[in-house]
Amino acid sequence: MLKDLHVLLIGGDARYLEIIDKLVNEGVKVYLIGYDQLSFNNPNIINSKIDKINFKAIDAIILPVAGTDTAGEVEAIYSDNTVYLSEEMLIQTPEHCIIYTGTTNSFLNTAVKSANRKLIVLFDRDDIAIFNSIPTAEGALNLAIEETDFTIHGANVMVLGFGRVGFTVARLFDSVGANVSVAARRPSAIARIKEMGLTSVKVSEMEQEITDMAICINTIPQQILNEKVISAMDKSALIIDLASKPGGMDFAFAKKKGVKAIHALGMPGKTAPKTAGRIIGEVLLELLKEIEKTPKH
């Protein structure tokens, strides 16, 4: 049990309702910011406002998967108010306080560093990223089915990137009978793509190979789908971009050309929030046990 820990959870989506349950079931006292639209009956859940929090008593801060934006705003879908995290808030926390986030950016890195606190980026962990790739891939498949008028079986599908998400996406679409091509750079990735019986495409040759694709799924967080590549695509093609903001494509040009493009952010939270929340929650509980062992001053 973690009954001596005080954790502040700021913002989040449906995944975080599962995380809240996991924490309080272990005895953690959870302070919530950005949940004013909801009510909770558990005495270990304190639904509050940011200006009412005693940061000096907080052992850990949990941010959403997206962390903050570059101004410190935290996404809070269960609140009508805008929620911000600041460096001044972090400075008020005890020295042992750890900040947990899904992803990070320059604002959050700078704020945590200035406050001399520890930042743990959960989605840098292989275990979370791999488990999380499953609902992400299932969400992409669901979108592909809903947004097209043909079967995925037999369709030409190109997956851009063969990291933890790209691997799972490619395997899932292959399992339902799609003709899957994967664009990658690393020789080891290209070897694995061939070993799986998929078609490997060099990123440098993507423009030539993408002309026959009905669906393109991007997992690379860089603008890989530029004007040249999009111009080579059939206008009836569908692009599903799974990369985090700002995505990996020129959305404005895709719209101009008439190619349907969807920036599918936060798929696990939309398609399988209970499973996705359980994945994050289990890892968080293990990490919080380390705080409990830390001497408090």
The tens digit of pLDDT for each residue in 33-48 reads 999 999 999 999 999 9
Which of 49, 43, 109 minimizes the C-alpha distance to 79? 49
pLDDT, position 247: 86
Residue 177 predicted with pLDDT over 90? yes
Chain centroid to Cα 75, Å, comes to 13
Chain centroid to Cα 164, Å, comes to 12
Q: Is 56 exposed, middle or buried (0-12, 13-18, 19+ CB in 10 A)?
A: exposed
Which of 11, 24, 53, 77 minimizes the C-alpha distance to 285? 24
Residue 120 predicted with pLDDT over 70? yes
Banded model confidence at residue 204, pLDDT cuts 50, 70, 90? confident
- Please report, to the nearest 10 degrees, the dihedral formed by the alpha carbons of residues 251, 253, 256, 261 taken in order: -30
List 12's β-bridge partners, or say none: 76
pLDDT, position 294: 66
- Please report, to the nearest 10 degrees, the dihedral formed by the alpha carbons of residues 181, 184, 188, 194 taken in order: 10
121 close to 104: Cβ distance less than 8 angstroms: yes
Rounded-to-integer distance, Cα 32 and Cα 127, Å: 26
Mean pLDDT of the chain: 94
Residue 296 predicted with pLDDT over 80? no
pLDDT, position 295: 58
Residue 229 predicted with pLDDT over 60? yes
pLDDT, position 266: 86
Banded model confidence at residue 293, pLDDT cuts 50, 70, 90? low
Domains and CATH numbers, the chain: 6-124+272-293 (3.40.50.720), 130-265 (3.40.50.720)
Residue with tokens 């959050």: 108
Specify the 3-state DSSP secondary structure of 268: helix
With a pLDDT cut of 90, the percent of the chain lying above it is: 88
61 close to 100: Cβ distance less than 8 angstroms: yes
Q: Per-residue pLDDT averaged across 155-179, rounded? A: 97
pLDDT, position 115: 97
Residue 25 predicted with pLDDT over 90? yes
Specify the 3-state DSSP secondary structure of 153: coil
CA atoms within 13 A on the CB side of 85: 33
Q: Which helix (H) or strand (E) holds 99?
A: strand 98-101
Which of 24, 25, 96 minimizes the C-alpha distance to 58? 96
109 close to 90: Cβ distance less than 8 angstroms: no
Q: Name the H helices within the chain.
A: 15-25, 87-92, 106-115, 126-146, 164-175, 187-195, 206-209, 227-232, 251-257, 267-271, 273-293
